A and B are shown apart, each in its own frame.
Chain A
Amino acid sequence: MSLPTKGRQALIAGLVAGGLALSACSAGSLGTSSTAASGGAAGVTITYLVDNSDQAVKPAQSLVDAFNATNSGVTVKLETRAQGTDGDNVVKTKLATGDMAEVFAYNSGSLMAALDPAKNLVPLTNESFMSNVQDAFKSSVTSGSDVYGVPMGGATGGGILYNKKVFAQLGLSVPKTWDEFMANNAKIKAAGIDPVIQTYGDTWTSQLFVLADFANVTSAQPDWAEKYTAGQAKYVDQPALTSFERLEEVHKAGYMNKDFASAKNSQGLQKLVKGTGAQYPMLTFVIGAYSAMSDTAKDDIGFFAQPGDDAAQNKLTSWSPGGVYIPTTATGDKLEGAKKFLAFIASTAGCDAQTKGLTPSGPYMVKGCTLPAGLPAAVNDLQKYYTDGNLSPALEFLSPIKGPNLEKITVEVGSGITSAADGAKRYDEDVKKQAQQLGLPGW
């Protein structure tokens, strides 16, 4: 995804892919059936490549087992690869050398665009199973006029996690506008609690104020992403500059925790759970991580989208799950087999198989799929934005350009090393390099 750095990307990729996998606990019970289940047909064997994080492997395994148990003729074998930058390189190298597995999981959005899909991936635009996939996801695996993948795992929201107990104690309500948010912060600070948790020890976490503000940018200017891709809209200009200014504003007001420069993501979550910090701009894939930190964390922590200028326009910035793709090197029977497997992934049976392994941290993007009951409060808060259709995809799913240095720049702005305007200018230069590398017109 994009979020952050590649390491994080891998992690997140894994998690997103893993979202799928949430059902892992029962994977073992299904695990032995893979070869025995093909019902006697001679069949083909295809390989499914995922990254080696637990969150990716567990759901993938239960998916593979469920598929092998129900379909005759095609047997899927699971294979794993490294995560992170190494994983990115493995995928790119395998594609370049024609050595790729018949089916593989990888990020959607700008990272997928970097795989040169027109050359390396099999278009799925006309496959019948694509009608099960939500349009919001399709846009994040589309390159040119073709759609290339099906979703693996649940969607992730970017916004602000907050401690409900602190809010209740201080009599605060969930802010719908930035002014309300800052007014809340003043009260929280007066109560001796850190209003906003920042954790620049894990640099990728510094980007959230900018990335999760994107829904507000599109509200202000609906065609911003298009113009940005064409090199016409810049971060130094409004409305996008506001995203950087908000980060600067929070720092200048002294609303951050004292150890923001060195704290890590897990320490930030701990502060949130303990209530020494009230709000943490984050992606919802961390829900599983903080839920494990205390018995009540699951119910104590809520979620809201990053507030903008207009309460009526308050929308969620949403990250699509990773995709599952077929490389052009898969042909004949293997291609048919791979398509059958993708059809299974894009079905309610596929979602259910994933849910068995791992608790989903966000809604599936396959039509008709549902989430189990008893999920953490933040997942329900998140779900509400999807049910209401109150969301915008994150920028990286609307544009192939994501400058790699954003997290460094947001650390600088968030630490007061540079101003919002200078940071935005620097990021524009970073983005330019990425656009040139991708060979986009207009740069």
Chain B
Amino acid sequence: MSSTTSSRDGSRVSLAKPPRASAEHVDATYPLWFHIPAGVIYIVLFIVPTIFSFYFAFTRWTLFKSTFIGFDNFVLFFSEPGLIGSLRNTLVYGFITSAAKVVLGMLLAVVLSAPIIARGYLRSVTFFPVLVSAVGVGITFQVLLDPFNGIVNKLISSVTGADGPGWLTDPDIALLSVAGIDVWKGLGLATLIYIAGIAAIPNEYFEAARVDGANSWQMFRHIILPLSFPATSTVIILSLIGGLRSFDLIWTTTQGGPGFASDVIASVIYKQYQAGFYGLSTAGNVILFVVVTAIIYPLSRWLNSKETVL
């Protein structure tokens, strides 16, 4: 495990200093025709539709015809309170889940890197939710969090005597509930990346610190925290991208409801497509693309610039 990740981290680190030599090496090894099949597939299935989608975002289209309407779709998207609300929800959801995964993932990884009993088993258990399909998780939590018949609120009302909150049906907390489920589901991956990141820290640092009489907190603060930074940036980027374009969990738990309280851009796009507003939903996709890129690209550049070579 640690060897795969350290190579992974290694490649991330090397991104900071572009690996010219290895690129030339690849060019020299493989003739052009070797790239063509993959290139054709990529161009036909990804590049061409992407370019088309930018055009169709400026039209009102059906399967049968399209009308060019300039920026109307975008104007509509930004003038509607529901759509702006979904943009805000998307950002809230993305940042909450990402932050929670970084903090909790780091803590869990530190615990699971220590020599504790049943460490392998506990690591597997932590990772297990990642393997379950999001739809399955969503439906299960919908049952668990049912305000009156769900096990969570039955427990709460048997302890406190009062009705528990409507986790997924109260407009004020529905989005946070889904974010909580997302964290539960995605935490295993963050932990795994951190475990690998911590395992990749050379032992000499710890030995030297111990000789100098550092306590565990100091070792965490001054060795693990800074030296696992590549893992942190990987977790931030991955979970933020995942959070910003999250759809499946939200759709299976609340369908963006109650009303529009937990709508994110992706669920709005889906509903618009379902409703036959193809142009508007294409515009929504372009906006999602721009938002994700505008956040991730500078963030990724910044995080990479902060990384240190071990």
Binding site for B on A (CB under 8 A): 5-6, 85, 92-93, 96, 114, 116, 119, 200, 203, 258-259, 261-262, 404-405, 408-409, 411-412, 415, 417-418, 426, 429, 433-434, 436-437, 439
Contact = CB atoms under 8 A, between A and B. Distances in A.
Given A259-B147, A262-B146, A262-B169, A415 B259 contact: yes
B256 A408 contact: yes
Interface of B: 60, 62-64, 67, 76, 80-82, 146-148, 166, 168-171, 255-261, 271-272, 274-280
Nearest to A263: B148
B62 A261 contact: no
6 contacts: A258-B148, A404-B277, A405-B275, A426-B82, A433-B280, A437-B278
A408 B272 CA distance: 13
B274 A262 contact: no
B60 A437 contact: yes
Contacts of A429: 80
B275 A404 contact: yes
A404 B281 CA distance: 13
B281 to A, nearest CB: 11
A412 B169 CA distance: 11
Contact of A203 (B255, B272, B275): B255
A125 to B, nearest CB: 22
B282 to A, nearest CB: 12
Contact of A261 (B64, B67, B258): B258
B64 A116 contact: yes
Contacts of B147: 259, 261-262
Contact of B274 (A261, A404, A433): A404
Contact of A411 (B76, B170, B257): B257
A199 to B, nearest CB: 12
Contact of A412 (B60, B146, B170, B259): B259
Nearest to A258: B148
B165 to A, nearest CB: 11
A415 B271 CA distance: 21
B259 A417 contact: yes
Contacts of B271: 404-405
Contact of A418 (B62, B257, B259): B259
Nearest to B67: A439
Contacts of B62: 116, 437
B248 to A, nearest CB: 16
B276 A412 contact: no
A421 to B, nearest CB: 14
B64 A408 contact: no
Contact of B276 (A114, A261, A408, A418): A114
B171 to A, nearest CB: 5
Given A261-B258, A408-B257, A426-B81, 12 more contacts: A5-B274, A92-B63, A119-B64, A261-B147, A262-B169, A408-B259, A411-B258, A415-B171, A417-B258, A426-B82, A436-B60, A437-B60
B257 A262 contact: no
Nearest to B256: A408
Contacts of A439: 60, 67
A417 B82 CA distance: 13
A93 B258 CA distance: 32
A258 B157 CA distance: 15
B259 A433 contact: no
B274 A412 contact: no
B259 A409 contact: yes
A417 B259 CA distance: 8
B63 A96 contact: yes
B258 A415 contact: yes
Contacts of A426: 81-82
A262 B255 contact: no
Contacts of A261: 147, 166, 169-170, 258
Contacts of A5: 274
A3 to B, nearest CB: 13
A282 to B, nearest CB: 20
Nearest to B273: A85
A200 B80 contact: no
A85 B274 contact: yes
A412 B258 contact: yes
A404 B277 CA distance: 10
Contacts of B64: 96, 116, 119
B146 A417 contact: no
Nearest to B263: A408
A408 B275 contact: no
10 closest cross-chain pairs (CB), A and B: A404-B275, A412-B259, A261-B169, A96-B63, A259-B148, A262-B169, A411-B259, A417-B259, A262-B147, A417-B171
Given A258-B148, A261-B169, A412 B260 contact: yes
A415 B171 CA distance: 10
B166 A437 contact: no
Contacts of B170: 261
B147 to A, nearest CB: 5
A433 B63 contact: no
Tell which of B76, B81, B257 has the most Cβ of chain A within 10 Å.
Answer: B257
Nearest to B72: A436
A236 B54 CA distance: 35
Contacts of B256: 408
A436 B67 CA distance: 11
A266 to B, nearest CB: 13
Contacts of A93: 63
Contacts of A116: 62, 64
A262 B168 contact: yes
Interface centre among A93, A418, A437 (most CB of B within 10 A): A437
A116 B61 CA distance: 13
Nearest to A120: B64
A252 to B, nearest CB: 17
Contacts of A259: 147-148
A137 to B, nearest CB: 24
A437 B271 CA distance: 14
Nearest to B270: A85
Nearest to B259: A412
A93 B171 CA distance: 37
B307 to A, nearest CB: 44
A417 B261 contact: yes
Contacts of B259: 408-409, 411-412, 415, 417-418
A203 B272 CA distance: 17
